[in-house]
Amino acid sequence: MSGPGPCSYFIAKTFGHMATGLAITTISAAHPILYNAVAKLMPPICAFILWIVVMLGGFYILGLFPSNSVAKYAAAAILAALIGQISGNTYTRLENEDILYRMFFLTTGIFIALLLIGLYDNQNFLSLRPYLFAVLIGLILSELVLYLIEMLDPLKSANLLGLNTLFTFISVGIFSLYSVVNMQVLKDHAKMCVGSPDYINEAQALFLTYINLFQNISSL
């Protein structure tokens, strides 16, 4: 009798890969050596652009590696560590304010609740994917404009505080819906799995959603 196939425990293995990536990111964020080295030379707008470049470019490059190869796992670990370095400022701030663990448990609780909705819902949220993506692109562009305004005219920062808070609430809503949608996408992929799954690729969307949800909840 043959043993379990490569698609066995598909969802559990995907979450295992996501959790490993988050662990590497957290350890890296706790020791932001790279971030501290460049922080004095990097204005906020550059840090924001770097975040986008690393998140999008890094995962694009990761997709070029062969599935389940040692090189891909090594690249994924490096990317997770780089994201941790970029997140070092948030980690340090929360630790100094003594709310790091509170934010972690709050985000994790919300994330798990949203995943359960996606798991038990009858795939009703999948149709939201293109709309969420469009809103997310608009939000990123709007935040870039705000960063530019604040950089060029620091006196307007106080006037834009309410708008920044609004954008943060919108971001929390977007990534909350993405959590549900990504869970339902994962369910579909689990049903269609017939070969040797690339669990790193499968875990990417969930990993990014958790990171962004944590960042935005922490900003509130």
Handedness of CA 78, 79, 82, 88 (dihedral sign): negative
Per-residue model confidence (pLDDT) at position 18: 97
Give residue-wise pLDDT tens across range 143-193.
777 777 766 666 555 566 667 788 889 999 999 999 999 999 999 999 998
Helix pair angle (44-62, 129-152), 10° resolution: 150
Per-residue model confidence (pLDDT) at position 155: 57
Per-residue model confidence (pLDDT) at position 1: 35
Position 87 pLDDT exceeds 70: yes
Arithmetic mean of pLDDT, 81-87: 88
Per-residue model confidence (pLDDT) at position 116: 96
Give residue-wise pLDDT tens across range 96-121.
999 999 999 999 999 999 999 999 99
Per-residue model confidence (pLDDT) at position 7: 83
The span from the CA of 188 to the CA of 173, in Å, is: 23
Per-residue model confidence (pLDDT) at position 111: 96
Per-residue model confidence (pLDDT) at position 168: 86
Environment class of 216 (CB within 10 Å of its CB; exposed 0-12, middle 13-18, buried 19+): buried
- Check: pTM over 0.85? Answer yes or no: yes
Position 52 pLDDT exceeds 80: no
Per-residue model confidence (pLDDT) at position 105: 95
Arithmetic mean of pLDDT, 71-84: 93
Mean pLDDT of the chain: 86
Per-residue model confidence (pLDDT) at position 142: 82
Arithmetic mean of pLDDT, 59-70: 89
Helix pair angle (199-219, 88-96), 10° resolution: 40
Assigned token pair, 106: 């709050």
**Mapping DSSP to helix (H, G, I), strand (E, B) and coil, where does residue 218 land?**
helix
> Phi/psi at 121 (nearest 5 deg)?
-75, 150
Per-residue model confidence (pLDDT) at position 180: 96
Assigned token pair, 6: 């490569």
The residue written with tokens 């922490």 in the block is 218
Q: What percent of the chain has pLDDT over 90?
A: 50
Per-residue model confidence (pLDDT) at position 3: 45
Assigned token pair, 86: 């970029």
